[in-house]
Structure 1
């Protein structure tokens, strides 16, 4: 496949399949009507979805309805599109592989693409959700608060507990509607922990979601001087390429300060840009532009169109703005990662593993090793979303799909971590002692520092109330735990992981 593919490959392959069947009339009919099929109901979105998934979907060959020989005639194809009037249901029930946990759709591509830039409608409260012991009742615990958000102006902080919304107790059946429903304003019913027991209080906190809140993923970057070491600590909460320059600046500060060790905190980082993951890894390891960071693997149809060199991405020596990478050139890195660490977070850990000693502190990660791309109804650009082609997107179709289209391997060819990456040092967050992020006595950071300095910590690392994670606030954003590849070659695609 050429670098600047601009036609929907699925169409060409579909037509090729038809030609092999000597059904040239069918091929011509599909070609003439591919963007505007005539049907009794409007199937513009369903048509866009099928064509895209038939071309790019990683499991295309495993989904019978996406087969190149699926339809006997054009009318048969249109009738299939008409079988489900709701595009979202069509996507989920007819086009997805049964084991696909991560592909999704959006009925508003602008809202989706803004979320990849860290912009969303939010009250700024980031929280986890856990289950009471032997119960379907749910409680929330505050992880952190986004600066300059509505929550930042309220009396609520990390470690606070809530058990209800608007006077209704949370459980597995209602927590989604109560916390992530249509209402922009809700009141949290607060609780407290005493002797490892959660007890409701009379306290309430009212929060309001506000449009266009931007979250800087660089939540904390500081130099810790302890035990005779200069340790860089970076809490990074999302791979957002709009902040790559600031990320590089943070490493410049580490380098100027003479940092010799690094603790990279990805405990709440669900993923994002593959390119940001590549740049971050280069800042940690080095600017070795001949060293393989990842090798992409696509479905059989796409894979056969590539040269091997087209599938490889190397470590970087500059950002996309041509700013030289500030690298620490480390041989060992300490990474805090948990069940909430996914996709691009795992990519950094896996991509660095062949080159340096990655010490994983925390719990087993999510296990998302596939990447996705944002697709919109722009046939002449292969339906790949390009912000410079907004005027070319079908104005009658605002839908986008974010299907998994490939899998990233590291330099050793390893990518089999669908069950998650297991920690070298197992330590769960303790709800009775979450600590202050960035402080020397925050348990997970304290454990990393003890490993770096070689000193026996006086701190007791016993976990009295481990989290039984149900979900988190980040899983109800548009981006969720998506990994998107925005590397421009070999397909000039914007891809996410």
Structure 2
């Protein structure tokens, strides 16, 4: 705070407001000889300036600084780093006071605040309080500091009521009246006044006496008659802590700072600080310079500027690569999700994403999504069907694996779909479109489909195959969602009852999902081989305080309903893979590898050794990469995916589960010959599927 009008009293009162420094007498200089050089206002390059008043902004602490959000204008949010203060039109926020206040005890801090209350009946400004904390830490005693406050108070006699000409009795009476609220029917008795006046006459300094009177008043906290006095004092300390320490506030205008800080203290009453809080120049009272960075206060404030701030703070707190985020102006992005995406570390992160919360909850909770119920793959000029969900519009229309969608609504699909075609292929509402379809023999037909809510079948197929006298369990597992647990257990139970010799787990189209489902699958395959063994360890960023339950997962022995999981106890497993085998599916491969032979047939997996937990805000689900996973042997970081032992292209000319289908056939061949079959044809380069949520 600038003190041009008050420069003559800088050695005294201004110390209490602006920390401008200086001493008024030789004795004071001797007392504070050990104190550091007086601090000054932050240099211009140490202050971030904003054009509006404090109450039009939100400030959110993050580990790298603060996010300041304009909630009244068009400035969006700005990340403030390496600054000592934030300057607004009406106040300055001291960003260092929170940590500085923590460097002394609560009792010591409150004793300093008591001096502001006792001599000025006001809340302290953050800069002045910071100065006196430093003086105290440098060796000045509370009694010495109290003497400074007394001499400053008599300079401002008109405001404080103190003067150098006061008798001991008058000095005591003004403390009772102005500080302790003892007036009217509560006016102190002559005996009470005499007791304290005699202390002054015996040589007690006036600063020391005030501290003694406040301590005595607080001793009546349990008294039926006088308990209201310490309550008022404590409420004034509470308001002072909020203003100066939690909020870090200083009024820009010195005179306003004097009158307003007194008004705030005067508004405190025995019931609390509500009226005082209402007078503070900030309405962002959840902001607290003493608390650890947290964005909880921003949750569900569904204003775009605040949502963007929440997204930025969320990444700072949870993101695995939070240190590598490059700041971008959020005003350049029209939506919070676009801003979120702009902050991602693209060189490492192909997977973080957002989605409407209702859609993602429906998908993971019940497997429901709005679609035709097919999965497609482009192979050159052909847009082919990978599989069809049972009971879906696609199944009702007779679509089958391997067939080609040649046209939609009379327009060719030989090239990558344009926006209109894409909307017809993946509609968001109940629309009917026509398709020209070529079967695997290239015979043409025309069908129509109306999109509807489709329930996923996470276990698309499970059967027992017999080859060369051996029994094989074969399972197409497509989605790690909550509804997968029951059919997975049913399939594994069927395989156990059939006493299969080998399992062929088809994960070629499984993009991931809940990690606990992956754990259950792996446990059912390995059985007693992995009892009490580690399935996966999760490595978070260096700020994480995640509990062991969230960082180390042993192989599960029981389902979510507390039922014992069936165990196959197999020494090996065949896994059919592709570029869409991702995330939780890769965790199955990696988690089992230290304990049994895992034979991959197909193509490289997608390479996602990372996971996240869904975080919701304003009806949007955010998935920011939070951790990487390693197995019991410490192996992880498979960013290039897992390479198959047998490289085999996807065979869309045969149904899944058909022993003639190339990948299944290769697994059967390997089981019999301990070698891969001779390669046939060229390997198609399959595009990676859209990233899927990996873990909860």
Fold shared per TM-score above 0.5:
yes
Residues 62 and 36 of structure 1, relative CA distance in 2, 3 Å threshold:
closer
| Map of 2:464 onto structure 1 | 223
| Map of 2:614 onto structure 1 | 374
Q: Does 1:116 align with 2:364?
A: yes
State the Cα RMSD in Å: 3.1
* CA-CA distance at 1:426 after TM superposition: 0.7
Q: Are the equivalent residues in 1 in contact too, given 2:458–2:483 (CA < 8 A)?
A: no
Question: Which one has a bigger Cα radius of gyration?
Answer: 2
* CA-CA distance at 1:159 after TM superposition: 1.3
**In structure 2, distance between residues paired with 1:26 and 1:49:** 27
Q: Are the equivalent residues in 2 in contact too, given 1:102–1:404 (CA < 8 A)?
A: yes
Residues 204 and 413 of structure 1, relative CA distance in 2, 3 Å threshold:
same
The C-alpha deviation readout for 1:46-75, integer Å capped at 9, x for no partner, is 132122211101111111439xxxxxxxxx
The C-alpha deviation readout for 1:339-367, integer Å capped at 9, x for no partner, is 12111111101111111110000011111
Equivalent of 2:286 in 32, 44, 62: 32
Runs of 4+ in 1 over 6 A off after TM superposition: 14-20
Q: Are the equivalent residues in 2 in contact too, given 1:130–1:470 (CA < 8 A)?
A: no
| Map of 1:90 onto structure 2 | 339
Q: Does 1:128 align with 2:374?
A: no
Gaps in structure 2 of 5+ consecutive residues: 1-59, 67-80, 85-93, 99-243, 248-281, 288-294
**In structure 1, distance between residues paired with 2:338 and 2:245:** 28
| Map of 1:279 onto structure 2 | 520
Q: Does 1:345 align with 2:585?
A: yes
| Map of 1:384 onto structure 2 | none
Q: Are the equivalent residues in 1 in contact too, given 2:527–2:568 (CA < 8 A)?
A: yes
SS in 1 for 2:543: helix
Q: Which has the higher contact order (CA 8 A, sep 6+)?
A: 1
**In structure 1, distance between residues paired with 2:547 and 2:562:** 26
Aligned pairs for 1:143-162 within 5 A: 143-162=386-405
* CA-CA distance at 1:272 after TM superposition: 0.9
After TM superposition, the score normalised by the length of structure 2 is 0.55
**In structure 2, distance between residues paired with 1:60 and 1:31:** 27
Q: Does 1:311 align with 2:551?
A: yes
* CA-CA distance at 1:193 after TM superposition: 5.8
**In structure 1, distance between residues paired with 2:375 and 2:694:** 20
Q: Are the equivalent residues in 1 in contact too, given 2:579–2:688 (CA < 8 A)?
A: no
The C-alpha deviation readout for 1:257-312, integer Å capped at 9, x for no partner, is 1112111111111111100000000000125342111010111111xx35667521
Residues 120 and 284 of structure 1, relative CA distance in 2, 3 Å threshold:
same
Q: Are the equivalent residues in 2 in contact too, given 1:337–1:364 (CA < 8 A)?
A: yes
* CA-CA distance at 1:131 after TM superposition: 2.2
SS in 1 for 2:461: strand
**Residue range with higher mean Cα deviation, 245-254 or 13-22:** 13-22
Q: Greater strand percent: which structure?
A: 1
The C-alpha deviation readout for 1:191-236, integer Å capped at 9, x for no partner, is 3566xxxx7x65222222102x211211111111221111111111
Aligned pairs for 1:374-393 within 5 A: 374-377=614-617
SS in 1 for 2:615: coil
Residues 456 and 341 of structure 1, relative CA distance in 2, 3 Å threshold:
closer
**Residue range with higher mean Cα deviation, 275-284 or 54-63:** 54-63
Equivalent of 1:142 in 382, 385, 389: 385
Q: Does 1:421 align with 2:670?
A: no
* CA-CA distance at 1:337 after TM superposition: 0.6
* CA-CA distance at 1:185 after TM superposition: 2.9
| Map of 1:172 onto structure 2 | 416
**In structure 2, distance between residues paired with 1:228 and 1:289:** 30
Aligned length: 418
The C-alpha deviation readout for 1:312-361, integer Å capped at 9, x for no partner, is 11111111111101011111111101112111111101111111110000
